[in-house]
Amino acid sequence: MSGRVLIVGQGLAGTALALELEAAGIPFVIASEGHARAASRVAAGLVNPISGQRFVKAWRVEELLPFAEQWYRAAGARLGVELWHPLRLRRLLAGDIEAARAAKKLASGELAPFAMAGEGGLAIRGAAWVDLPALLETAAARWSARGELCAAAVQREELAADATGVTWRGERFAAAILCTGAGALARGWFAELPFEAAKGEIVHVRGAELAAGEAVSRGTWVLPDGGSGARIGATYERGVEDDVPTAAARERLLAEACELVAGELAVIEQRVGVRLGLSDRLPGIGWREGLRMGFFGALGSKGALCAPWLARVWREVLAGSDAAWPAAVAIGRFGRR
């Protein structure tokens, strides 16, 4: 593909895509309104190979986990910041049913090599947290200085797309990729997709007694923040999209964290984000049929794990290779509605 690519949104998806295009020498412009409460600016960046009450491996984790680690380490070197922080994650068990389920899966080898029996539950291998604020902020500063990032709230009526490209504010682009998270723009252009949005809240605290590089979870997780504090999260309110922190969420998270870690917890900050997903809980990438208007989003709870690999797929497609959309995440999987 010749010509510039317009990336709309500079959350995790947009940032990962821009870094991939930069590495490939594909010119781009990012238009972003900042999204201070976007999910990727609020999220703790947890990478967990095993998740949920049923102890399920993350999608394609054997491939995506080593790719993600290499990618974040390389991106951090380019940006001059450490992004990838390995964790010793203890997954505690909530009662006899979970204990029996975990024992069965361990015995079958289904969770290998990412989980083994540990004190009070499972010891998870390969877990990490990604410093998403550092990624987004350093990348934004880099591209702003180069004139590749502009502060703009893109409106749907400003985008004119056809089979050869997209026009925005009088400028022509070879393609536009919408990476707007739960924002209305992508949901408008791709309204036929079965989107599901959810509000999530996290609490940043001091006083949690965590060993260096250690995290603990049992539904609620407690993660280090890279300094002297910790993050506790996250609530999940399906179908709720306001960005108002609530006392109920704060008290619930603190109460559950007190069962997981010792120490007197003092709240530093409470944050809210709205996360976009799709009905089958997998992310989405692909073109609007017949147009050079693309979608990259609905990363759900595994964004830190899967965004780098999905951005690489986009890079290969935009570079003109024969790369095909992976069927499990291609937005065409839902058919015409």
> Which value, to the nearest 10 degrees, does the dihedral of the CA atoms of residues 36, 308, 184, 37 take?
-20
Closest CA to 246 of 302, 181, 200, 208: 200
Q: How far is CA 88 from the centre of its chain?
A: 20
pLDDT of residue 40: 84
pLDDT of residue 222: 98
For the chain, which domains are there? 5-46+130-194+280-334 (3.50.50.60), 196-278 (3.30.9.10)
pLDDT of residue 143: 98
pLDDT of residue 42: 81
pLDDT of residue 17: 99
205: amino acid identity, one letter: V
- 216: Cβ–Cβ under 8 A, 6 or more apart, which residues? 89, 90, 91, 92, 210, 222, 260, 261
Residue found under tokens 């986009």: 314
Residue found under tokens 């609620």: 220
Q: What does pTM read for this prediction?
A: 0.96
Closest CA to 297 of 193, 199, 148, 200: 193
pLDDT of residue 35: 63
pLDDT of residue 59: 95
CB of 275 closer than 8 Å to CB of 200: yes
pLDDT of residue 337: 41
Work out the end-to-end distance of the chain between its first and last CA atoms, rounded to an integer number of angstroms.
30
Q: pLDDT (tens digit, 9 = 90+) per residue, 115-153?
A: 999 988 999 999 999 999 999 999 999 999 999 999 999
Strand-pairing partners, residue 205, are 230, 267
Residue found under tokens 């026009």: 167
Query: Which pairing describes strands 5-8 and 50-51: parallel, antiparallel, or unpaired?
Result: unpaired
Parts of the chain with a pLDDT under 50: 337
